[in-house]
Amino acid sequence: MAKKRRKSKVKRYPTDLNDKKWSIINPLLPVALSGGRPREISLRKIINAIFYITRSGCAWRLLPHEFPAWQTVYGYYSRWRKDKT
């Protein structure tokens, strides 16, 4: 009898960062502003969503539901693009 594979709760995409790549990118990202609202979504999820968009070429509004809301991802992308992060 063949082994059954467990289904992962988190859907992985080929564009998702592995731990090694994340450890390189993470120090380059800006820290949260002091006194502001605490982050509810990890920057790794934001980066994975941005990589998905750039690789797939899909519209922001068509971002799959496994990622954060497209407005949130676009907000980070837009801000980082302006400040050249």
2 part of a folded domain:
no
pTM for the whole structure: 0.83
Mean pLDDT of 31-54: 92
6 part of a folded domain:
no
1 part of a folded domain:
no
Rg (Cα) of the chain, in Å, rounded?
15
Domain count, the chain: 1
pLDDT for 27: 96
pLDDT for 32: 87
Residue 78 lies in domain: 41-85
When the pLDDT of each residue in the chain is averaged and rounded to a whole number, the result is 90
Alpha helices in 19-63 (DSSP H): 19-25, 43-56
Assign 12 a pLDDT band (cuts: 50, 70, 90). confident
Summarize pLDDT for 43-70 with one digit per residue, the tens.
Answer: 999 999 999 999 999 999 999 999 999 9
3 part of a folded domain:
no
